[in-house]
Amino acid sequence: MRAVKGKNTSIERRLFSMLAGRGISGWRRHVRELPGNPDVVFHSNHLVIFVDGCFWHGCPTCKRKLPKTNRAYWKNKITRNVEIARVASAELKKDGWVVVRIWEHQLRDANGLKTIGDRIEKLIDAGVI
């Protein structure tokens, strides 16, 4: 899924710097040994975070338009991405991970970032296992 989830895209960096800015520690980025290569992993809390690209995962809020050419290809690719993400989430949950999926668009504005930061802090404070 490398082509789908570019490493260290600017949108991901917003998430990383938000976590760092709040003094949230104990996480690693892009952990390949877990299903779906989560973007952020809190090992001791058994918490993983994925950032789903609005185009690549067919975000229902943004409804990003498909390219004019090869529409069937793109549609199929997005459907597959969603399915792969669903399977990865299910596998992780089965193994006792708490899975948080964030839409790319939620990281684009300060309010969205704050909401996500609050949610993650709450999960960590709750000592999710």
Residues at the site binding Zn ion, with contacts judged by CB under 5 A: 54, 59, 61-62, 103, 105
Minimum Å gap between C-beta 67 and Zn ion is: 17
Tell me how far, at minimum, the Cβ of 57 lies from Zn ion, in Å: 8
Tell me how far apart the alpha carbons of residues 99 and 90 are, in angstroms, rounded to a whole number.
Answer: 9
Report residue 81 as tokens.
């991405």
Tell me whether residue 113 or residue 124 sits nearer to Zn ion (CB atom): 113
Instruction: Select 30 or 105, whichever has its Cβ closest to Zn ion.
Output: 105
Minimum distance, C-beta of residue 43 to Zn ion, in the bound complex (Å): 28
Paired tokens of 19: 């976590």
Task: Characterize the bridge pairing of strands 47-52 and 40-42.
Answer: antiparallel
* 107/124 with CB nearer Zn ion: 107
Looking at beta carbons only, is 34 or 59 nearer to Zn ion?
59
Task: Evaluate whether 97 touches 10 at the Cβ level (below 8 Å).
Answer: no
Chain center to CA of 81: 13
The nearest distance, CB 125 to Zn ion, in angstroms, is 28
Of the candidates 38, 117, 47, which has an alpha carbon nearest to the alpha carbon of residue 85? 38
Q: Distance between CA 53 and CA 35 in Å, rounded?
A: 17
